[in-house]
Structures are given as structure tokens and as C-alpha cells.
Chain A
Amino acid sequence: MDQLVRVDDRRSVARAVAMGRIRNVGWGVTRTLLSGVSVMAITLLLWVAWVAWVDNDFIAKGPSDVWEYLVGDDDAIANRAEVVDLLGRTLIDSGIGFVAGMAAALVLAGLIVLSKGVEAAVMPVAMILRAVPLIAMAPVIILIFGRGFSSVAVISGIVVLFPALVTIVFGLRAVSQQMRDLVHVYGGSDWDALRKVAFPSALPSLFAAIRISVPGAITGALIAEWLATGQGIGYGVVSAAGRSQNTKVWALVVVITVVSLVLYTVAQVVESFVLSRFGSEAGRA
């Protein structure tokens, strides 16, 4: 598809700018959706195969059991209400973590690109935050930040922070020396270079960071719910498993997995739309 676009470009620059964008986006969205559907299909297949292999009705629930729990059963309405309730809480918590983590990553990435000193100070700490298992850190975080909003922001934010930070810094650094020199020749400062050249050219990286952060934020929120707040799907799954409410466990896992996939896909679609506005080459830095 790369080639397609490039051939188009060569044939007619004017037409390619207009058509290329539309085709790019259209094809991009279709491809994203196709890959989403195939991932679901493969997962479903593996799930059915695994349930058949385990062959224990009480523990291993298949797609039909989950369907019955959420849709077919007499209690389905109550079950759904409960699941939606938990899901809503988890999505709010994920949103908190996502915003906290991305904001921190953006600010730190900017500072790192501007100053070597900041990099030397920040990167090791970010590495440590990433390397120490969150479950081990959680009690300390809870002691410091309590069991509410702040703990969710910190725990989920930490999961988001490191990959986003690395990706964004990589994008900001991708600006060529010539571009930076150009800004400086015209009397611009480092900050101007960052603002006018580095950030726009780092957009693909930024969107890549957003895309990978979506599932990350959800993971972080689940951990925070399990260990700190006792709400949402993160706690619901643990609690239900302890009570042997196995169908509920499966239903919750399926729901959060599907929602995570859908959000990831949405991020991908938005990404291809935005990048196409910045030219067909912007998406492949």
C-alpha cells in the first residue's frame, strides 16, 4: 500500500494529495476493522477449543455460557446492569489513568528533549517505576495517596507513562539536525524548534503512544481497582473468582477484553484520520 500511494504521488502530485488521503483513510479504517474482526474470530476459536479441552463445566465457561449470562438467562437484565455498572467505573478509572499518564509523558518528553540533565534525572526513575512490579509498589502508593482518585491516577498512570514517554521522546528526537538548524538560523530558540518542528513531526509517535496507552490505562485501572479502591471490574473479577461465581468472572473478562479491543481500534481509526490530514507520509515516520 506504501507503493500504491507512492506510485499515485508520482503520477500526479495534485491528484494524489486529494485522492491519496481519502483512499488512505478509507483503506486504513477497513484494514483496522478487518484485523479487529479476525482477532475476535481467532480468540473465539481458541476459547472454544480450550473449553472443550479443559472439559469442566463448572470452571471453564464457553461463549454460550457467557452469552446466556449476559443475554439469554432469566437474570440477564440484572447481570447486565451489574456488569455495565462495573464497566462504567473501570472506564472512568482508565480515563483518569490515561489522562494522568499521557499528560506526565508529554511534559516529561518535552523537558527531556530540551535538556540532557532532565533526561538523566527522569529516565532512570521512569525505568524503575516500570521495572518494579506494580503489585509490589501498590501498598506504598496506597499508604501515600489513599484509596481514591489519586491512587488510581498514580497506579494506572504509571502503566501508561513509560511506553508513552519512550515513544514520544523518540518522535521528538526524529527531527533532523537541518530542520533544527533552520529554526535556529532564523533566530528561533530550542523551545521554538520543539514547538514548531518537533511536536508536529512527532504526531505519528504521539498517536502510536495514545494507541498503546489505551489498553495500558485499562490494565492499570484494573490493578488499582483490585488493590486500592475495591470497585469496578478489577475488583469484581477477583471477588467473583473467590466466590466461585465463574460465569460472572468469564463475562467480566470478556466484556473488558472486547471494550479494550474496541477502544484500541477507535484509537487506530482516529490516528489514521488525523495523520492523513498531515499528509500521507506523516503516518510512517
Chain B
Amino acid sequence: MKYSPRSTRMRVATVLAAAGLVLAACGSDSDEGSGDSGDFGELTVQLSWIKNAEFAGEFFADSKGYYSDAGFSSVTLNAGPGATENLVLSGNADFGLTNAVTVGQIVAEEDAPLKIIGTTYQKNPFTILSLESGGNIATVDDLKGKRIGVQAGGNEVLFDALLAANDIDPSEVTKVPVEYDPAPLVNGEVDGFLAYVTNESIIVEAQGLPVTNLLFADNGLPFVAESIVTTDEMIENEPEKVKAFLEAEILGWKDACSDIEGGAALAVDEYGKDLGLELDKEIQQATIQCEELILTDEVTANGLFTISDDLIDQNMATLAAAGIELEADDIFDLSLLTELYKDKPELKD
């Protein structure tokens, strides 16, 4: 697809407005931030999901002041799910949490100027969740002839990729539009439901219903998730801001994985207070995500958020299997993370 070059029409008003904002920013922010890390103003992070233990690291980084130590004057954590990539591209968020396949598809199809600069989850927790007493979808062949609840947007990309990677014709499966509440699965409207094995799977099981999971990662689609995405513009023009953000994230997630219950409590009592979260479920989720999805051997050796070359190759193979043809450089840019760890090796400990 083609895009017209940045247009020259527009703008007296825009320029004036922008100038006003810049002036205002210069005037008001100078008293914040700490010495060497500079002053990066307001920070907005687009989360991929509601504020549950999935973002324990972000909650620690905020509540313990890692973001403000890094030089951000205020922090807004926007709850998802939403069109993360669009929100980042439109400037509504500085950074977003998403996954390699969605980013890959958007970069390939729409030439989106986006890069993944690090990842929380080394493995993705996406699953086709089904009830043992219902669809009981244990293998990809079980998908055929079933009604699968898939949420509109990015999750459709993942589902299409799952089918493509396993040579299943989309016509063999009925895709049903659902929201993120797994009620349609429980009440039998659908046989399977695209979900997180760390979240909905636990919730449904807690209702006393034995579940079956068809994990994407085990069925031809290993890829990184809860990956931090930002614009090419940000990487190029404000590398220090990116590094400051990554540093705060690393510190936050170090805490989150060493204090599982603390992270779960932050979600239940503070950030997700209105959501009616259950502490036990959140602890269970936080435990699985740290043990199985985040702290792999590679991460223990290389540091949080890193993506090894092997893992990148694996991601590119996944994208290729899903019919998305890209080079690794098109979606991953880990240079700033590497630089950060070089400057501050103590972050690895």
C-alpha cells in the first residue's frame, strides 16, 4: 500500500498551537525530574488489557516512583484492550504493549512506522480456550467445524495466523464475534474462545469448569507478547526518553517477579480497584507469567525485556508461517535496550 508523502497543505493554526504547547511545556516542567536522567515530561503507556496483575511491573514502576526517577513528570497507564498500535501512532500514547504478530501484520500491510523495543513475555500466553465438557479443543484438527469466539481487531490477526500456520482453511471454522468476557464460552454459544492461558483460562476454571487449552505457542505460533512498541520517530528523536522508560520498566518488573503477591495486591487494591479482581486468581496469574513467560533462561542471563537472536528468528518464522513477509529489522529495534544494559549492567542483576 502506498502513502502520500507528508503533505504540505495545513497549518498556520497547527504550527501556532504546537508552538503554544512547546512554550507551555518549557515553562512548567523544569522543576521535575532527577539530575542525570533529564526531563521527559508526561508519560502515557497504552496497556493491552484491563489493569490486572498482567501489568504488575508497570504498577511497581509507577508506585515506587521508578518512572519519575527516570525523569517523567507524570504517568498515565491507559487500560486496554484497544487498538494499541493506532494509539501509539496517533501520539495518544508514547509506548504501547502488544505482540509481535499484530505489529508484524500492521507493519507489513500498512507500512506502520513502529518498532518493538523490548518484550515482557518471551512466550505468548494466547490460547484457544474450550470446556472439557464442550468443544474440548486439544489439537488444531479439533478446530475444524467448531465455532470460535474471536475478538475483533488484533486477535483476528492472531487467529488467522494460527489457521495459516496449521494449514487450516478459514472456511472450515466459524469465527464468532465476541467481546473479551468469556461468557459466550460458558453458556455454550461458542465451542472455543481466544484467550490468555494466564487469565480467562484461570477464571473459567475457577468457576468449576474443567478447561482445555490449545496454546498458540505450542501449535506453530511461538512469538513474543506484552512487547513494548513505539514509533520510529520516538526511537530516532528521543532515544534517551526511550532508555529512561525501559530502565523504569526493568526495575518495575524486577520487583514484580520478586514480589509476586505484592504485584497482585497492587492490581487488586489499587490500580484495578474498580474491577472486582480476586487476589488468589491474580497471584496465580502473576506466578505463571513470571515463572513461565518472563524469566526464561535467556532472560536470566541477558536481562529483562531482551529478545535473543534465536528468539527473533523464531518470531520471524512464525510471521512467515502466518503469511507475513518481513525482515527482523522491520519490526524489532533492540539497539536502545542493548545500549541501556551496556551503560548500566547492574540492571541485569
B28 within 8 A of partner (CB):
no
Given contacts A58-B89, A242-B152, A243-B153, contact A52 B110 (CB under 8 A): no
A246 to B9 alpha-carbon distance, docked (Å): 21
Whether A246 touches B153, Cβ cut-off 8 Å, given contacts A53-B14, A229-B177, A230-B175, is: no
Range of interface residues on chain A? 20 to 34
B266 to chain A, nearest CB (A): 29
A245 interface residue per 8 A CB criterion: yes
Chain A residues, Cβ within 8 Å of B6: 57
Cβ < 8 Å to A, chain B residues 215-271? none
Which chain B residue lies CB-closest to A142?
B189
| Residues of chain A from 132 to 157 with CB closer than 8 A to chain B in the complex | 139, 142-143, 147
Residue of B nearest to A58 (CB): B89
Q: By the criterion CB–CB under 8 Å, are A230 and B113 in contact?
A: no
Q: A-contacting residues of B (Cβ < 8 Å)?
A: 1-4, 6-7, 9-11, 13-14, 83, 85-86, 89-91, 102, 105-106, 109-110, 112-113, 151-157, 175-177, 183, 187, 189
Q: Closest residue of chain B to A138, judged by CB?
A: B179
B126 to chain A, nearest CB (A): 15
Complex interface: chain A residues within 8 A of B14 (CB): 52-53, 55
Q: How far is the CA of A185 from the CA of B221 in the complex (A)?
A: 81
Please name the 9 residue pairs, one residue from A and one from B, whose CB atoms are nearest each other, closest first. Answer: A242-B153, A230-B177, A52-B10, A59-B90, A244-B106, A238-B152, A239-B152, A58-B89, A244-B85
Whether A75 is near chain B, meaning CB under 8 Å from some CB there, is yes
8 Å CB contact of B89 from A73, A139, A244:
A244
Q: Are A147 and B106 in contact (CB under 8 A)?
A: no
Instruction: Report the number of A-B residue pairs with Cβ-Cβ less than 8 Å.
Output: 90
Complex interface bits, A232-253 against B, C-beta within 8 A gives 1, otherwise 0: 0001001101111111000000
Contact in complex: B153, A58 (CB < 8 Å): no
Q: A59-B86, A242-B152 are in contact. List 11 more A-B contacts (CB 8 A).
A: A52-B7, A52-B10, A55-B10, A58-B113, A143-B187, A143-B189, A238-B153, A241-B153, A242-B154, A244-B86, A246-B110
The answer to whether A52 and B177 have CB atoms under 8 Å apart is: no
For residue A227, CB closer than 8 A to chain B, the reply is yes
15 contacts between A and B (CB under 8 A): A56-B90, A56-B91, A57-B3, A58-B110, A58-B113, A59-B90, A62-B7, A143-B189, A147-B189, A226-B177, A230-B175, A230-B177, A242-B83, A244-B89, A245-B109
Instruction: Output the nearest chain B residue to A72 by Cβ-Cβ distance.
Output: B2
Q: Among residues 14 to 56 in chain A, which have CB atoms less than 8 Å away from a CB atom of chain B?
A: 52-53, 55-56
Residue in chain A with minimal CB distance to B106: A244
B175 & A243 in contact (Cβ 8 Å cutoff): no
CB-based contact A243/B1 at 8 Å: no
Contact of A53 among B3, B13, B106, B153 (CB under 8 A): B13
A52-B9, A143-B187, A230-B175 are contacts. A243–B2 as well, Cβ < 8 Å?
Answer: no
Q: Is A228 an interface residue (CB 8 A)?
A: yes
Q: Are A243 and B106 in contact (CB under 8 A)?
A: yes
- Chain B residue with the shortest CB-CB distance to A147: B176
Write the nearest CB–CB distance from B337 to chain A, whole angstroms. 24
- Smallest Cβ-Cβ distance to A79: which chain B residue: B1
Contact indicator A243/B89 (Cβ below 8 Å): no
A8 within 8 A of B: no
Nearest CB in chain A: distance from B82 CB, A: 8
Contact B176 A243 (CB under 8 A): no
Question: Bound state CA distance, A53 and B17, in angstroms?
Answer: 10
Q: How far is the CA of A238 from the CA of B152 in the complex (A)?
A: 7
